[in-house]
């Protein structure tokens, strides 16, 4: 398949790029800094060197799947929702490309059925970064209102860290907790789960979540 990854130089995007290539897919990194992409992904990496908000429909319509791994600073967190709206506007009433959004864990429910975002708001330094999970939650709610675009979302566990792949554990709307009481997923595990879903779709116009065993 032809796969585009927006934000392919971030933690999630880099792991996903490498996993996609290892499975034999034709992968393009969409980034703002080509030199950084080449250094992380290799000299043979296919790159579109362009600000994501300058992308046109013609830049993207040749792909089978577009994965949005976009990241930004807390002060610009609203751009997550803006980008989702832009991508959706390009591909109304189409089945291809499939839009794959990496969302945050804040929209999941904890073991008490409470929105995890509400828990995060009580963390001592939350004011400096809470805009990012808040906007991710808004983005999911926006996507849930969309019925004529082929989209899927994925949320990590509470702790999303760089690391090697394990066998992914999947869930729907609740935080996944491992047998040792942790809620964690590595970038490698997330990449495996995303590629499994791309190759064998199970979640259509909905969100799922991923954790390490």
pLDDT tens-place string over residues 9-59: 999 999 999 999 999 999 999 999 899 999 999 999 999 999 999 999 999
More confident residue, 112 or 133: 133
Q: How many whole angstroms separate alpha carbon 78 and alpha carbon 71? A: 11
Domain ranges for the chain, please list them. Answer: 2-211
Query: Which class is domain 2-211?
Result: alpha beta
Alpha helices in the chain (DSSP H): 11-22, 34-41, 57-60, 79-90, 116-120, 131-144, 187-199
Q: How many whole angstroms separate alpha carbon 157 and alpha carbon 161? A: 10
Report pLDDT for 111. Answer: 87
Token pair 């009580």 is found at: 122
Answer yes or no: are the C-beta atoms of 109 and 173 closer than 8 Å: yes
pLDDT tens-place string over residues 114-172: 999 999 999 999 999 999 999 999 999 999 999 999 999 999 999 999 999 999 999 99
Q: How many whole angstroms separate alpha carbon 108 and alpha carbon 156? A: 9
Strands 46-49 and 159-161, bridge-based pairing? unpaired
Whether 213 shows a pLDDT value over 90: the answer reads no
CA distances from 25 to 42, 121, 210 (A): 15, 40, 22
Whether 102 shows a pLDDT value over 90: the answer reads yes
């Amino acid at each position: 398949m032809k796969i585009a990854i927006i934000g392919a130089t971030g933690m999630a995007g880099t792991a996903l790029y490498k996993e996609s290539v290892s499975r034999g897919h034709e992968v393009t990194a969409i980034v703002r800094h080509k030199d950084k992409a080449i250094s992380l992904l290799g000299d043979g990496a296919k790159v579109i060197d362009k600000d994501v908000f300058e992308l046109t429909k013609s830049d993207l319509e040749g792909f089978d799947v577009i994965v949005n791994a976009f990241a930004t600073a807390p002060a610009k967190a609203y751009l997550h929702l803006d980008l989702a709206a832009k991508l959706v506007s390009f591909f109304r009433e189409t089945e291809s490309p499939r839009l794959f959004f990496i969302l945050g864990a804040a929209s999941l429910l904890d073991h008490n059925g409470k929105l995890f975002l509400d828990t995060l708001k009580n963390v001592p330094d939350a004011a400096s970064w809470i805009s990012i999970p808040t906007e991710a939650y808004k983005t999911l709610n926006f996507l849930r209102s969309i019925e004529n675009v082929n989209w899927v979302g994925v949320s990590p566990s509470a702790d999303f860290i760089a690391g090697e792949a394990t066998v992914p554990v999947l869930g729907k709307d609740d935080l996944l907790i491992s047998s040792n009481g942790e809620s964690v997923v590595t970038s490698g595990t997330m990449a495996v789960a995303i590629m499994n879903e791309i190759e064998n779709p199970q979640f259509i116009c909905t969100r799922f979540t991923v954790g390490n065993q």
